[in-house]
Structure formats: structure tokens, C-alpha cells
Amino acid sequence: MAPHTTARISLQELRELCQQVLSYHGFSAPHVEQLTATLMAGQADNCASHGVYRLLGLIRSLKAGKVSPDAEPEVHDQAPAIVRVDARQAFSPLAFKRGLPLLIDKARDCGIAAMAINHCVHFSALWVEIEAITAAGLVGLACNPSHAWVAPAGGRRPAFGTNPFAFGWPRPDRDPFVFDFATSAIARGDIELHRRSGEPIPEGWAIDSDGHPTTDASEALKGAMLAFGGHKGSALAAMIELIAGPLIGDLTSAESKAWDGGVDALPYHGELILALDPARFLGEEAPRHLERAETLFQSIQAQGARLPSERRFAARRQTAADGVELPAQLLADIRVLLEE
């Protein structure tokens, strides 16, 4: 099949295909529901690196014995402002869903609360979770390690994960302000998609295993990815290793990679999520923070600059009507999962 051949499919048809694949491979009903919702959210927003392409990695991780298809997360009320959720080696979306109500309650009580998800296998875009926090009128932050694929600024060997960092601010009657990016120049999933389609990657994303800049996606995957913004992205990546690793008693990206043992499963570690309640910070002044934020957003957009997530929200409205366009090879690879 030519690498650029595409196929259009409705969101409903694609959702049913995801559910079928996950059920066929033995995932429990609550995991099927949450995994499908997460994969479909990525695809519907045209975030190809974290859409249904991830099904291939989910099933690969399952077959490698690296993830539980049915573990029920355990929610612990750890401290007045800390929720801990033990995912018990299952994928993170169900753990997030189970812990979210307590995180929201604690943020409303204390003004700020943290949720540590432990022992989860992680594959998803963080904005899916951030939007659940902004929908409750709270400000949210989230971050996690991954596998050690990224060289520190000034180095040539992987030390950090692609360590995403996401933030969300609620906006009444509008889409929230959300940004969500890897602290590497790009998510690894994007380089994998370039490899699948045979396309070169831009300079600045990665070096090969000899430490030379490369635009070859396969060589990049064998070498090291680069941090975004040089020493600045590198320092943020290190911070995420610390606050979503040792601080919450979970694995760093290097430890996750060692745990993988070369089977190429999805990363296994923890995630740190913060929720802040403006009403507790501001008391009666509270609604004013929303107006002042709008002034900031307008000053950005008035210059013709766009807000992060604007592209995503526009894609969501379009794909709801038109369905999505997928590489035909990807659709074929997903359908084959129903025969294995």
C-alpha cells in the first residue's frame, strides 16, 4: 500500500473498531471505555501521534506482558490535599477517572490539591485530563516522565523522557485555554509516524546514535531526541523527572526504560496532576480573575497570534461532522489486531 494513501472513516465507526480491538484482547469494560475515549479524543482533535495509532502500542505492551488489561485502580486519601491512585500496572486513563472526584473535592477544600497516579502504563495526551479539570472550573497542571529517549542540552545520550507538561485555565462559555507539549522538540509518537510514512523529520528534533544531527526518522529513533528550547526545555524535563518520579515514589524515564528490557512497550511510571481553585485563592473577588484572563487572551489574538489548542478545538468541530482521514495502512494495521 502506498504510504500516503488515506481512508475516511466516521468517528462512530472508528470508536466501535477501538472497542472491538480492546475487548477482543481482554481489556475489562471500564478500561475499554476509558481507553477508547482517550484514543478517540486524540484522533477527533487531529492529534495523530496520540490518536488511534496508539492502539498498536497498547496491544504490543499487552502482548509483552507489560500491562494489566483489567486491574482496578485503588484510590487512597493520602493527605488533606493529596490523592494517590495506584493504577496497578494498568493504563492511566481509568486511574485518572477514578481519582478525579476526590482531587476536585480536595482542591475546593484546600485551594490547591495534587493527585499522584502511581504504577501506570502511559500513552496519552495530557490535555484530555486537563480539560476534565477546567470543566470543573479549576486551573490544572499535569506532567509525567516517559522512557529515556531525550539527551540533555549539551549531552548526546538519552537521560530524560519526552516528559509532557500541560496547563489549563477555565473560560466561561468558551473552550478553555490549554497548552500541552512534550519537553522534547516533538513527541516521540510524531517521529514514529514520520518513520511509518517514510518522511524525513525536520532538523533539530534528534541526533543519530553517533551523536550527529539527523533528519532520518529511523536513525532518530535509534539515537537520541533533543529537548525543546535547549537548556530551558532540558531543565523542565529534569524537573518533571523529579516531581513526577522520586517525589511521588515512582520511576524516572531511565528506570522505566530499564524496566522495559528492550520489548518496546509503552512507558511505566507515575504522573503528577495539580488542581487549583481560584475561588479559594480570591474569595469574593473570584469572578474577576476570569475577566482579567480574557484581557490577556484578547491581547494575544488581537495581534493575529493564536492560542494553544485553538487548532485542536477547530479540528474537534470539523471531525464531528466529517469523520477523520487516516493513513490506509494504519487502518489496516488496526484491523489486523482483530485477527491476532
- Give the footprint of ligand NDP on this chain (CB under 6 A): 47, 49-50, 122-127, 144, 146, 162, 164, 166, 179-182, 186-187, 190, 306, 308-312
Catalytic residue from among 45, 49, 253, 277? 49
Contact residues for ligand PYC, defined by CB under 6 A: 49, 122-123, 146, 162, 182, 187-189, 266-267
Per the listing, cell 472526584 goes with 101
Residue 213 per-residue DSSP state:
B
Per the listing, cell 532520518 goes with 216
Q: Which of ligand PYC, ligand NDP, none does 126 bind, CB closer than 5 to 8 A by kind?
A: ligand NDP
The CA distance from 221 to 162, in Å, is 12
The CB-of-286 to ligand NDP minimum distance in angstroms stands at: 26
Q: Which of ligand PYC, ligand NDP, none does 177 bind, CB closer than 5 to 8 A by kind?
A: none
The CA distance from 270 to 122, in Å, is 8
Is 50 annotated in the active site?
yes
Nearer to ligand PYC, 123 or 177 (CB): 123
- Show the DSSP H helices in 111-187 as ranges: 127-134
Instruction: Count CB-CB contacts under 10 A for residue 305.
Output: 9
Nearer to ligand NDP, 103 or 166 (CB): 166
Q: Which of ligand NDP, ligand PYC, none does 308 bind, CB closer than 5 to 8 A by kind?
A: ligand NDP
Catalytic residue from among 50, 119, 147, 269? 50
Q: Quick one: 279 exposed, middle or buried, by C-beta within 10 A (0-12, 13-18, 19+)?
A: middle
The CB-of-167 to ligand PYC minimum distance in angstroms stands at: 18
Per the document, the length of the chain is 340
Nearer to ligand PYC, 182 or 237 (CB): 182
Q: Which of ligand PYC, ligand NDP, none does 96 bind, CB closer than 5 to 8 A by kind?
A: none
Is 190 annotated in the active site?
yes
Catalytic residue from among 86, 180, 190, 250? 190
Sign (positive or negative) of CA dihedral 136, 10, 186, 63: positive
The CB-of-162 to ligand PYC minimum distance in angstroms stands at: 3
CB–CB of 165/236 below 8 Å? yes
Set of cell numbers at residue 255:
528506570
The CB-of-273 to ligand PYC minimum distance in angstroms stands at: 16
**What angle do the packed helices 29-44 and 11-24 form, to 10 degrees?**
140
Nearer to ligand NDP, 157 or 306 (CB): 306
Nearer to ligand NDP, 36 or 277 (CB): 36
Is 299 annotated in the active site?
no
Instruction: Count CB-CB contacts under 10 A for residue 103.
Output: 26
* DSSP-derived 3-state class of residue 169: strand
Nearer to ligand PYC, 48 or 114 (CB): 48
The CB-of-190 to ligand NDP minimum distance in angstroms stands at: 5
The CA distance from 74 to 62, in Å, is 21
327: left (phi over 0), alpha (psi -120 to 50) or beta: beta
Q: Which of ligand PYC, ligand NDP, none does 306 bind, CB closer than 5 to 8 A by kind?
A: ligand NDP
The CA distance from 111 to 276, in Å, is 6
Residues marked as catalytic:
49-50, 190
